[in-house]
Amino acid sequence: MDVNAVEIRNITKRFGAVTAVDDLSLDVPAGSVYGFIGPNGSGKTTTLRMIMSIFYPDSGSIRVLGQEHHEAAMDRVGYLPEERGLYRKMKVRDVLRFYGRLKNGDNVSGDVDRWLERLDLADWADKRVEALSKGMSQKVQFIAAIAHRPELVILDEPFTGLDPVNLDVLQEAVLELRAAGSTVIFSTHDMSTAEAMCDFVFMIFQGQKVLDGTLADVQDRYGTDTVRVRIEGDATRLQGIPGVERITDRGQLQELRLQSGANSQEVLGAIMSSARVTHFELGRPSLHDIFVRIAGPEAEEASDA
Amino acid sequence: MRKALLVAVRDYNAAVRTKGFLIGLLFVPIMFGGVFIVMKFTEGRVDTTDRRIAVVDHTGVVAPALIEAAERRNESEIHDQETGKKVRPAYLMEIVGPRATEMEAQRVELSDKVRAGELFAFLEIGRDVLAPGDDGDASRIAYYSENPAFDDTRHWLTSPINDRIRSLRVAEADVDIETVERLTRWMSVEGLGLLSVDEETGEVRGGEQDNTAAVLLMPYAMMMLMFILIMAAVGTLVTAIMEEKGQRIAEVLLGSVRPTQLMTGKLLGAIGVSLTMVSIYMLAGVFVARQVEASNLVPYGALPWFAVYGLGALFMFGAIALALGSACTDPKESQSLMMPMWFLIALPMFVWVPVVKEPVGGLATWLSLIPIYTPMIMLIRIASPVTIPAWQPWAGLVGVVLFTALSVWTAGRIFRVGILMQGKPPRITEILRWALRG
**What is the DSSP code string of B150-197?**
S-HHHHHHHHHHHHHHHHHHHHHHT--HHHHHHHT---PPPPBPPEEE
> Is A292 part of any domain?
no
Interatomic CA distance for residues B429 and B80, integer angstroms: 68
What is the pLDDT at residue A183? 93
Q: Of the candidates B140, B151, B142, B149, which has an alpha carbon nearest to the alpha carbon of residue B122?
A: B142
The burial of B130, by beta-carbon neighbours within 10 Å (0-12 exposed, 13-18 middle, 19 or more buried), is given as middle
**Under 8 Å between Cβ of A106 and A42:** no
On whether both B250 and B149 belong to a single domain, the answer is: no
Question: Residues in chain B whose beta carbon is closer than 8 A to a beta carbon of chain A?
Answer: 2-3, 6-7, 10, 14, 18, 243-244, 247-258, 420, 422
On whether both B369 and B433 belong to a single domain, the answer is: yes
What is the pLDDT at residue A134? 86
> Is B240 part of any domain?
yes
Residue of A nearest to B5 (CA): A102
pLDDT above 60 for A268: yes
> Is B305 part of any domain?
yes
On whether both B8 and B88 belong to a single domain, the answer is: no
pLDDT above 70 for A297: no
Residue A184 structural domain: 4-218
To the nearest 10°, report the CA torsion of A50, A53, A56, A60. 70
What is the pLDDT at residue B395? 93
Nearest-Cα distance to chain B for A128, in Å, is: 13
What is the pLDDT at residue A12? 92
Nearest-Cα distance to chain B for A89, in Å, is: 8
Higher pLDDT, B117 or B289: B117
Q: In chain B, what's the furthest Cα-to-Cα distance?
A: 98
**Could you tell me how many residues make up chain B?**
438
Average pLDDT on A284-290 reads 83
On whether both B349 and B278 belong to a single domain, the answer is: yes
> Is B20 part of any domain?
yes
Predicted complex ipTM: 0.78
Mean residue pLDDT across chain A: 85
Picking from A74, A75, A144, the nearest residue to B252 by CB comes out as A144
What is the pLDDT at residue A153? 93
Q: Which of chain B's residues have a Cβ under 8 Å away from the Cβ of A87?
A: 14, 243, 247, 249
On whether both B283 and B339 belong to a single domain, the answer is: yes
On whether both B64 and B24 belong to a single domain, the answer is: no
Test B14 with A87 for CB contact under 8 angstroms.
yes
Strands annotated E in B169-299: 195-197, 204-206
On whether both A24 and A111 belong to a single domain, the answer is: yes
Test B243 with A81 for CB contact under 8 angstroms.
no
Residue of B nearest to A53 (CA): B255
Residue B403 structural domain: 2-29+212-437
> Is A23 part of any domain?
yes
Residues 6+ apart with CB under 8 A from B57: B63, B95, B98, B125
On whether both A65 and A203 belong to a single domain, the answer is: yes
Query: Is any Cβ of chain B less than 8 angstroms from the Cβ of A14?
Result: no
Residues 6+ apart with CB under 8 A from A3: A29, A30
- What is chain A's Cα-based Rg? 22
The residue out of A163, A194, A218 marking a domain boundary is A218
Helix axes A134-146, A108-118, angle to 10 degrees: 140
**Under 8 Å between Cβ of A47 and A70:** no
The pLDDT tens digits for B312-370 are 999 999 988 888 888 877 777 777 777 887 888 888 888 888 888 888 888 889 989 99
The pLDDT tens digits for A90-120 are 899 999 999 988 887 667 888 899 999 988 8
On whether both A268 and A169 belong to a single domain, the answer is: no
**Tally of domains in chain A:** 2
On whether both A120 and A252 belong to a single domain, the answer is: no
Interatomic CA distance for residues A75 and B256, integer angstroms: 7
DSSP A22: E
On whether both B256 and B309 belong to a single domain, the answer is: yes
The pLDDT tens digits for A129-155 are 889 888 888 899 999 998 888 999 999
pLDDT above 90 for B410: no
> Is B299 part of any domain?
yes
Report residue A302's pLDDT band, with 50, 70 and 90 as the boundaries. very low
Average pLDDT on A55-82 reads 83
Interatomic CA distance for residues B397 and A121, integer angstroms: 54
- What is chain B's Cα-based Rg? 32
Q: Of the candidates B246, B248, B272, which has an alpha carbon nearest to the alpha carbon of residue B8?
A: B272
On whether both B356 and B432 belong to a single domain, the answer is: yes
On whether both B388 and B419 belong to a single domain, the answer is: yes
Residue of A nearest to B245 (CA): A85
What is the pLDDT at residue B423? 63
> Is A303 part of any domain?
no
> Is A229 part of any domain?
yes
The residue out of B133, B152, B178 marking a domain boundary is B178
The pLDDT tens digits for B242-296 are 888 877 888 888 888 888 888 889 999 999 988 898 888 888 878 887 777 666 6
On whether both A268 and A211 belong to a single domain, the answer is: no
Interface test with chain A among B7, B17, B243, B252, by most A beta carbons within 10 Å: B252
What is the pLDDT at residue B424? 67
What is the pLDDT at residue B180? 82
Q: Which of chain A's residues have a Cβ under 8 Å away from the Cβ of B253?
A: 85, 102
Interface test with chain A among B251, B413, B417, B437, by most A beta carbons within 10 Å: B251
**What is the DSSP code string of A240-302?**
T-TTEEEEEEETTEEEEEEPTT--HHHHHHHHHHHS-EEEEEEEPPPHHHHHHHHH-GGGHHH
pLDDT above 50 for A261: yes
What is the pLDDT at residue B281? 85
Test B10 with A84 for CB contact under 8 angstroms.
no
Q: Distance between terminal CA atoms of chain B?
A: 22
On whether both A204 and A161 belong to a single domain, the answer is: yes
Test B14 with A101 for CB contact under 8 angstroms.
no
The single-letter code of the amino acid at B89 is: P
Higher pLDDT, B106 or B196: B106
Q: CATH code at A263?
A: 3.30.70.100
Average pLDDT on B182-191 reads 81
Helix (H, G, I), strand (E, B) or coil at B429: helix
The residue out of B134, B155, B178 marking a domain boundary is B178
β A183-187/A33-37 pair status: parallel
On whether both B397 and B318 belong to a single domain, the answer is: yes
Helix (H, G, I), strand (E, B) or coil at A187: strand
**Tally of domains in chain B:** 2
The pLDDT tens digits for B201-211 are 777 766 565 56
Q: Of the candidates B378, B34, B393, B21, which has an alpha carbon nearest to the alpha carbon of residue B223?
A: B378
pLDDT above 50 for A305: no
> Is A92 part of any domain?
yes
On whether both B116 and B260 belong to a single domain, the answer is: no
Q: CATH code at A20?
A: 3.40.50.300
On whether both A267 and A126 belong to a single domain, the answer is: no
Test B255 with A77 for CB contact under 8 angstroms.
yes
Residue of A nearest to B254 (CA): A54
